[in-house]
């Protein structure tokens, strides 16, 4: 009986210590950590001030570089037939399997005398690694006749990734070279 009393008094003592830790010590530790994080964040912002200005200037410069990067020169109508092979070559360069490259030639109507520039829609299905797909998209954006990427889906298909996308390309009635 006396043994049970000792166990109960030890349990009550342990619960009292646990209650003090939970109710008094833990909140003060959390408050101290929160204060430290606010101070370190403020110090960090103070130290990074000059770098954030430099980064902002760097980003402004990259926008200028990007405008030079996008040439916006339509592909001549006579070269539309080579679009499939051009995309196949880009896919091969980026280690992708070009499963489908399908330009929608039916929607090109060169009979309209008011228009000098037209839009060619190309549907592509490629297989490979995600990093290679990203490189492919960057290379496509560098094409002078690239207008937009309208639809893109990436999904897992057995052992590889499949990317289905729709691109719009600028096509010109005029002769020239893209």
Range of weakest confidence among 101-105, 166-170, 174-178: 174-178
Which residue has better confidence, 135 or 114?
135
Mean pLDDT of 108-124: 76
Q: Is the pTM of this model over 0.85?
A: no
pLDDT of 114 > 70? The answer is no
pLDDT, tens digit, for every residue of 4-13? Answer: 777 887 778 7
CA distance 77 to 178: 10
pLDDT, tens digit, for every residue of 48-86? Answer: 555 555 555 544 444 444 444 455 688 787 788 888 999
**Euclidean distance between the first and the last CA atom of the chain, given in angstroms as a whole number:** 98
| Other residues' Cβ atoms within 10 Å of the Cβ of residue 13 | 10
Mean pLDDT of 102-121: 76
pLDDT for position 164: 94
CA distance 29 to 15: 20
Residue pair 32/25 in contact by the 8 Å Cβ criterion: no
CA distance 172 to 164: 26
Mean pLDDT of 14-33: 66
Positive or negative, the CA dihedral 58, 60, 63, 65 is negative
Residue pair 177/155 in contact by the 8 Å Cβ criterion: no
- Please tell me whether residue 114 adopts helix, strand or coil conformation: coil
Question: How confident is residue 136, by pLDDT bands cut at 50, 70 and 90?
Answer: very high
Read off the tokens for 141: 């954006």
Mean pLDDT of 88-100: 95
């Amino acid at each position: 009986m006396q043994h049970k009393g000792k166990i109960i008094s030890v349990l009550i003592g342990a619960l009292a210590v646990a209650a003090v830790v939970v109710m008094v010590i833990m909140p003060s530790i959390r408050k101290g950590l929160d204060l430290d994080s606010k101070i370190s964040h403020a110090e960090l912002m103070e130290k990074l001030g000059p770098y954030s200005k430099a980064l902002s200037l760097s980003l402004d410069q990259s926008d200028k570089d990007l405008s030079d990067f996008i040439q916006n020169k339509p592909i001549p109508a006579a070269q539309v037939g080579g679009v499939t092979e051009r995309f196949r070559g880009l896919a091969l360069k980026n280690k992708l399997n070009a499963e489908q490259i399908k330009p929608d030639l039916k929607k090109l109507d060169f009979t309209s005398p008011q228009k000098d520039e037209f839009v060619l829609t190309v549907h592509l299905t490629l297989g490979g690694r995600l990093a290679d797909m990203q490189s492919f998209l960057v290379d496509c954006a560098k094409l002078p006749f690239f207008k937009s990427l309208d639809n893109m889906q990436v999904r897992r298909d057995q052992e590889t990734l499949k990317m289905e996308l729709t691109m719009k390309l600028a096509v010109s009635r005029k002769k020239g070279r893209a």
